Structure 1
């Protein structure tokens, strides 16, 4: 049985959720001929505490990919998709996911709270993604949940510019939700930026496109390790 998603991330030496996503926001092939099994093995060798699998069709994913990844690893796995109903939660649980994405930008407050409660009842960690202060303030109690700040705009399928500073601005509010595990997600490519976010107080990061494109994943991870103790936390703008 996979360990709980939150516990695995908080207890990790290298708290990076590494993502499998067949296509980028611009439609580029990110697997580049590699099988899911090869990518999972690469991530495990890099010390990933958790994996993320994008099942949304706009990024080339599906639930078959989730099932294959879960069958290849003992690590906790997050399913990333636009989840809007309890049936999708049951499917995620049946396929062996440990956590499921809930997008505050797309879900009304009442629906988000109901889905988070249902996910917890199924043994799934709600991975609640936010993009602004109003969404954070409207969240249900964060106990048992991951609250993740998306540094890009999901409304345009993450094709816009990355705003790392958004994570830094929202971190104090995310902490006030009671979530034990604030995460910064999307658009993180530079190890120095990643180290700064962790030093600022994020419990984890979600990185996908850059790791899938990296020729030497180990070098990126080692540089992150080296910078974590030395890099000052970046300051938010404004």
Structure 2
């Protein structure tokens, strides 16, 4: 199956999934008075590979937010929410998503397999988020999925600062599972950290809070590019 979401990541100069999120895990505002249209325009100008849209209400999201972003961009969209039923996936497709978040740690293996199948049947990319090696075994059709390491603890509502060493440890297991698009997600705070993860071998990064809090998205990405060039020249 073709995957516009995966293809966009693999073909991007900057393999970043840039996130639209109204609040951080502590309830603090991330929009800074900007409209959704303004945030999306900044991401478009920055050459985002894909855009993540947090529709979960604990981050201030709503289902309507996905439709609003879909109206503003042709970039492949990830709906980031706790998706647990087939009708959630059907609604995501109707609202303009190209990929849906499936959180392995919150689903039984049979439920995860059923939801992966449901997403693929609707030509959506399963974006399967894991925090432990044991969760990989439940991922069916891994070659058609994004497998993403969440560097934060979902059991505490992602209120921790993140454990980036988790991404370092998990990458070989993601590759062995067969995914074309291993992704590191959450807790990526600086351009230098982002560059290091790409240099390590991640084909995509999901970055939200750091970009939304950056005084300039363009400057953050220039620093990311510079850090990648430095890493490449040191090899």
Spell out the pairing of 1:95-134 with structure 2 (5 A cutoff): 95-134=95-134
Paired with 1:192 and 1:31, the residues of 2 have a C-alpha distance of: 23
Unaligned runs of 5+ in 1: 233-238
Paired with 1:23 and 1:190, the residues of 2 have a C-alpha distance of: 19
Q: Determine the structure 2 residue equivalent to 1:73.
A: 73
The 8 Å contact of residues 10 and 203 in structure 2, kept in 1 or not, is answered as yes
Report the aligned-residue RMSD.
1.1
Q: Determine the structure 2 residue equivalent to 1:236.
A: none
What do residues 75-99 of structure 1 show as CA deviations (whole Å, max 9, x unaligned)? 0000000000000000000111000
Deviation at 1:229, TM superposition (A): 3.2
Spell out the pairing of 1:113-192 with structure 2 (5 A cutoff): 113-192=113-192
Paired with 1:160 and 1:206, the residues of 2 have a C-alpha distance of: 17
Paired with 1:194 and 1:160, the residues of 2 have a C-alpha distance of: 18
Which has a greater percent of helix?
2
Deviation at 1:226, TM superposition (A): 1.3
Deviation at 1:143, TM superposition (A): 1.4
Paired with 1:171 and 1:141, the residues of 2 have a C-alpha distance of: 18
Paired with 2:207 and 2:159, the residues of 1 have a C-alpha distance of: 16
Spell out the pairing of 1:1-238 with structure 2 (5 A cutoff): 4-231=4-231
What do residues 49-80 of structure 1 show as CA deviations (whole Å, max 9, x unaligned)? 10000000000001110000001101000000
Paired with 2:139 and 2:43, the residues of 1 have a C-alpha distance of: 31
SS of 2:192 mapped into structure 1: helix
SS of 2:127 mapped into structure 1: strand
Runs of 4+ residues deviating >3 angstroms: none
Deviation at 1:141, TM superposition (A): 2.9
Paired with 2:149 and 2:196, the residues of 1 have a C-alpha distance of: 15
The 8 Å contact of residues 56 and 80 in structure 2, kept in 1 or not, is answered as yes
Deviation at 1:139, TM superposition (A): 2.0
Paired with 2:193 and 2:186, the residues of 1 have a C-alpha distance of: 12
Unaligned runs of 5+ in 2: none
Report the TM-score, using the length of structure 2 for normalisation.
Answer: 0.96
Paired with 1:142 and 1:161, the residues of 2 have a C-alpha distance of: 28
The 8 Å contact of residues 192 and 231 in structure 1, kept in 2 or not, is answered as no
